[in-house]
Amino acid sequence: MALLGAAAESLFATVFPSDCRLCSVPLTNISRLPVCEACIRAIQPIDGLVCGLCGERLTSRHCVSLADGIARCGNCEREAPRFAKAVAYGSYEAGLRELIHLLKYEQVRPAANVLGRMLSDVISSLTLLFEDRSPIIVPIPLHATKLRQRGFNQSELIARAALKHRALCELRINVSALERCRATESQTGLTRAQRRENIRGAFHVRRPEQIAGRAVVLVDDVFTTGTTVSECARVLYRAGAATIWVATVARVLKSDATLGLDPDEDVEVIEGAHVLAAGA
């Protein structure tokens, strides 16, 4: 038994990294994912108040509609998003960001299983909205050039891992209806208007008959500004989709330094909406 144990340890040291890729602590358990359990447990869901439409963290001034009671960020109050609701598991920072990078840029595919568990929680949180509809899961597609370079679509891998969980096993994934038909420049550093122009026309629905009349859950790894999912929602609605929700593993949130929320904030009514105003 001692020889077998030594052989297993030797094989582990040869085939698998010796340290956690997130915190550099030596790994003690054989796993295809070079990340320790402590780092995985440290990735927590988003807490605090977020926009009921896009999922953005709410600052000290935001609106609560008198009609539906949904808290909205400033952007969603000024212009409703194209999708019905977007939900993310965690903030795109620290361990969660590094785990996503391991999958996307270092091809550590087992990371998709952990990210899939998180995504399954996100999709499950939407199930009350499904009512009697059974939505199809549509991962945001990559352009063919990027797909060849990377070898896989990370959003598809994460979505497939999520649907292995019992609560979602009846949902079906569709990777053929939506296509990315045009490569786009990086969105980094662009204004909101420039982002929209950059992404417009980059997607089209290849098989409208698979979309018409159906509810859709768009899946992506990260929600940054919402430009990409908004463009996908636009073309899906044009193809006849009934309702579109967005589910992502991570979301870029406003800095905690910009917050000022107080549970005892006063509420005033402005132009038909409750506006929470700290120190009002």
Region of residue 48 (left: phi > 0; alpha: psi -120 to 50; beta: else): left
8 A C-beta contact, residue 37 and residue 114: no
Q: Which residue spans of the chain are classified as CATH 3.40.50.2020?
A: 47-277
| pLDDT tens digit sequence for 255-266 | 543 433 333 333
Rg (CA), the chain: 21
Compare 133 and 144 and report the one with higher pLDDT. Answer: 144
CATH 1.10.230.10 at 47-277, yes or no? no
Mean pLDDT value of segment 161-165: 92
Hey, how many other C-beta atoms are within 10 angstroms of the C-beta on 68?
A: 8
User: What pLDDT does residue 109 have?
Assistant: 92
| Residue written as token pair 């000024």 | 78
Give per-residue pLDDT as tens, 169-205. 788 999 999 999 877 766 666 666 777 777 787 899 9
The pLDDT tens digits for 77-93 are 888 899 999 999 999 99
Number of Cβ within 10 Å of residue 10's Cβ equals 10
Residue type, 178: L
The span from the CA of 192 to the CA of 223, in Å, is 14
Check residue 190 and give its pLDDT: 65
Query: What is the 3-state secondary structure of 161-227?
Result: HHCCCHHHCCCEECCCCEEECCCCCCCCCCCHHHHHHHHCCCEEECCHHHCCCCEEEEEEEEECCCH
Residue in this structure with the two tokens 């992502």, named with its chain if needed: 248
Count of beta carbons in the 10 Å neighbourhood of residue 135 = 22
Residue 21 pLDDT level (bands cut at 50, 70, 90):
confident
H or E stretch at 268? strand 266-270
Three-class SS of residue 137?
A: strand
Residue 76 to residue 68: CA distance in whole angstroms: 14
pLDDT at site 255: 57
Q: What is the pLDDT of residue 262?
A: 34
Which pLDDT tens digit goes with each residue over 29-78?
767 888 898 899 999 999 888 888 999 988 765 566 655 678 888 888 88
Q: Which two tokens stand for residue 179?
A: 């296509």
- Interval 207-232: pLDDT, tens: 899 999 999 999 999 998 888 999 99
The confidence score (pLDDT) of residue 16 equals 54
Whole-prediction pTM value?
0.80
* Whether 114 contacts 162, CB under 8 Å: no
Q: How far is it, in rounded angstroms, from Cα 168 to Cα 217?
A: 12
- Checking if the pLDDT of 250 tops 90, the result is yes
